[in-house]
Amino acid sequence: MFRSRAKEEKAPVADKAQVNLSKQTRDPQAPKGRPTPKRSDSQSQRRSVANTSLTRKDAAKRQREERRAALDRQRQALAGGDERFLPARDKGPVRKFARDFIDSRFNVAEFFLPMAVVILVLSMVRVGSLQSIALLLWLVVIVLIVLDSFVTSFRLRKQLPERFPSENRRGAVAYALMRSLQMRRLRLPKPQVKRGERP
């Protein structure tokens, strides 16, 4: 009875507007399909996620375990020759060929340690002739290692471009020569070819 006419006139307009909005076709990608959560709800959710995250101690422990697992995989790869887990310096077909090239032949440098022990023992004996023999053996061993390394690097430099024309061959010769200095049974990755076998 004492209601104002302005409110009565506005009410049907609002109802019509709501009806018109509900009849409009909605873009399927635009709506969220759910009401917007309250700020308090979203904050409590964030807090629960933050609480379940790892502490610094747990994160460090997990990192140590992952590092230990990676090192174990790498050690097994070095023993078995699995390319997937080898260190970066040993990966790739060029490095594999360089390893096989060295492992398939006798290298003077790989006998350096045993010969060095023999020469050292001879040089310690207080006999003049044995000491002069030891000195001569040192010179012979060094000259043989240098000559053998020169021949090995020359042959390897010749074969690498033929086998791998489009691959990166940088450092492969030095890698092979460093491997030739190690005794065969101590080499890592372990040799995959026999002596005399073509790589």
pLDDT of 56 reads 86
Q: Which of 142, 182, 141, 174 is CA-nearest to residue 156?
A: 174
Average the pLDDT over 37-57 and give the result: 68
Q: What is the rounded average pLDDT of the residues 155-176?
A: 94
Q: What is the C-alpha to C-alpha distance for residues 97 and 199, in angstroms, rounded to an integer?
A: 7
The alpha carbon of 137 is separated from its chain's Cα centroid by a whole number of angstroms, namely: 42
Residues in the chain: 199
CA 49, chain centre distance (Å):
33
| Helix 128-163, helix 172-180: angle, nearest 10 | 150
For the chain, how long is the longest CA-to-CA vector?
137
Please provide the average confidence, as pLDDT, over all residues in the chain: 81
Q: Against a cut of 0.75, is the pTM above it?
A: no
pLDDT at 4 (0 to 100)? 55
Tell me the per-residue pLDDT of 78-137, one tens digit each, with 9 for 90 and over.
887 777 888 888 999 999 999 999 999 999 999 999 999 999 988 888 888 888 998 999
The pLDDT assigned to 28 comes to 56
Instruction: Please state, for a pLDDT cut of 70, what percent of the chain lies above it.
Output: 78
pLDDT top residue among 46 and 142: 142
H helix or E strand, kind and range, residue 56: helix 56-80
- Our measurement of the distance from residue 164's CA atom to the centroid of its chain's CA atoms, rounded to an integer in Å, reads 22
Three-state SS at 176: helix
Q: Please tell me the least confidently modeled range out of 41-50, 147-156, 157-166.
A: 41-50
